[in-house]
Amino acid sequence: MSINYVKPVIIDLKSHPELNEKWVQEIIAQDPSILGIGDLILKDKERIQPRSGRLDLLLQDFDAAKRFEVEIQLGKTDESHIIRTIEYWDVERKRYPQYDHCAVIVAEDITSRFLNVISLFNGAVPLIAIQMSAIKVGNNYSLLFTTVLNQLTLGLVDEDEEVSEVTDRSYWEKIKGTKQTVAMADEMLNLIHTFAPSFELKYNKFYIGLAANGQPNNFAVFRPQRIIMRMDVKLEKSVEVESEIESVGLNMLDYDNDRGRYRIKIAEKDIKKNSEILINLLKMAFEK
């Protein structure tokens, strides 16, 4: 059987008489996963920002309690677009601090000048840059998205840094999670005490970490949310570890290559049901 090759035609959206930014916005809104940054859902589009215009798309990852403020630009990125994207991100994170937020720029041409400007922020703004290409095959059109800058968070070398903003238990119970989900972090601490009794919880703005004798040691961190809790455990990526997690039905979200952590979604029932495997994972991370 012969396979026919059809050469696609690259389309310049900015100069196209029919395809425009609104069309791109609708395509992404219908299926946000095409951006390639996770299994996201549409939360809002053309979202009005106080004194700042309209945010093109607001996307959300419910598993990770994370929101993405997405701005679309045809043609090349420019300074005004960068400022607007960061402005929208800043407004949303202040209005809804219970979520993690990330700014996303989608443009046809991510210029080197743009990347140089972004580097000046030194990771203070979590930002993803996605280059978009429109192609035509026959009478059909499609969009391709390539991440050229993944979430840039260089502000801290590691989550163990003591310069992380310290909060308290009530902040997590009222703002980030609930009393019930924060209590799940207590239960995880009890599991840790089976092999390392000196550890205590340390409440930071973006995670609940661990400390022993006043010294941070975040071999695992916890992020209570409204219904569940996410645990990030520091382990090398391996088939054996993943098989162990999946064999008992724990919900493994993904592996964070940047920090070398497995991200696992934990419900209250999982802690008692799978205490043995959880202790094993935590102990391996502690001894690593």
Q: What pLDDT shows up at residue 187?
A: 96
| Residue 24: half-sphere exposure toward Cβ, Cα within 13 Å | 28
Helical segments of 63-178, H only: 79-95, 112-119, 169-171
Low-confidence ranges of the chain (pLDDT < 70): 1, 52, 62-64, 119, 121-123, 151-165
Residue 216 CA, distance from chain mean position: 23
Q: Domain 9-149 classified CATH 3.40.1350.10?
A: yes
Q: In which residue are the tokens 């690593």 written?
A: 288
3-state secondary structure (DSSP) of residue 263: strand
| CB-count exposure of residue 101 (10 Å: 0-12, 13-18, 19+) | buried
Q: What pLDDT shows up at residue 274?
A: 92
Which pLDDT tens digit goes with each residue over 122-162?
A: 567 888 889 999 998 888 889 999 988 876 544 444 444 44
| Sign, Cα dihedral of 61, 62, 63, 67 | positive
- Residue 21, both tokens: 């930014």
Q: What pLDDT shows up at residue 176?
A: 86
Q: Domain 169-287 classified CATH 3.90.1150.20?
A: yes
Measured from the Cβ of residue 233, the count of other Cβ atoms closer than 10 Å reads 24
Q: How far is CA 185 from CA 202, 205, 228, in A?
A: 11, 15, 11
Query: What are the structural domain ranges in the chain?
Result: 9-149, 169-287
Q: What pLDDT shows up at residue 149?
A: 81
* Cα 130 to Cα 148: distance, rounded to the nearest angstrom: 6
- Residue 275, both tokens: 């205490």
